[in-house]
Structure 1
């Protein structure tokens, strides 16, 4: 019937007032649907239990400074990265840590030392709890 009304209106056989009245009737119904949706939306916080399903931790063992960009790309993709710097020279390891510290800072993430030349870099979506430094200090005291 709507196509016929449009056709008759186009030809000029039907008055536009009827169409305007029909549109006004339709509008309040859409507003009530929107209000019903808002009511459901504000009832409470609904959290999907499967939201952490695809979290992956990337293990990286760079052999040169050139591989640091790949680690930064993982962090930008919101993936935590464990970086083992035992296979690079100390001067390159320092440059890599400096670069990753800047990357993590820009992403509001964090970087933590979890072992000798091993670092955990995390984006802002991952929270690090606890400290391994205390454990390393205890082992050093125990070995003396």
Structure 2
């Protein structure tokens, strides 16, 4: 009932009509319509909370192996789901090739990725890290550029 109807009923100027429940239903609809949009979004969004920090301690390991035997330590870091940057400039060429072959197999078995960052520098990542983009070989570009002159 509206306020005006209640007022008229109080003074006996109008007959009281029984409450059919329809007015109560209309009042609930009005209350739902009047709920601010930000409160509705708040109610909807409170169940969709997703943490953007999936791993608390993300580490990137920098290594400079001097022998082939250190390749297993690098593989252990990959198994622990850590990214590893490997600088092979201090290793003999034949050992560097063997290390890269070993790490390529390790990365493949773990479902990760391996990328060349520069001359004798590689990045190995586990499957939880995605590598996008490329780094071009500057030395090859400079050689091509000097030939064009």
TM-score range, shorter chain: 0.5 to 0.7
CA shift, 1:53, in A, is 3.3
Report what 2:63 is aligned to: 60
Instruction: Give unpaired runs (5+ residues) of structure 2.
Output: 1-45
Q: Higher helix share goes to which structure?
A: 1
Task: Decide whether aligned partners of structure 1 residues 45 and 141 sit closer, same or farther in structure 2, where only a CA change above 3 A counts.
Answer: farther
Following the alignment from structure 1 to structure 2, what is the Cα–Cα distance between the partners of residues 56 and 143? Answer: 40
Task: Give the superposed CA RMSD.
Answer: 2.0
Contact 2:88 2:121 in 1 (8 A): yes
Q: TM-score of the superposition, structure 2-length normalised?
A: 0.62
- In the TM superposition, 1:20-99 aligns within 5 A as 46-99=49-102
Equivalent pairs counted in the alignment come to: 102
Q: TM-score of the superposition, structure 1-length normalised?
A: 0.64
Instruction: Give unpaired runs (5+ residues) of structure 1.
Output: 1-42
CA shift, 1:134, in A, is 5.8
Structure with higher Rg: it is 2
CA shift, 1:51, in A, is 2.0
Task: Decide whether aligned partners of structure 1 residues 135 and 87 sit closer, same or farther in structure 2, where only a CA change above 3 A counts.
Answer: closer
Contact 1:83 1:118 in 2 (8 A): yes
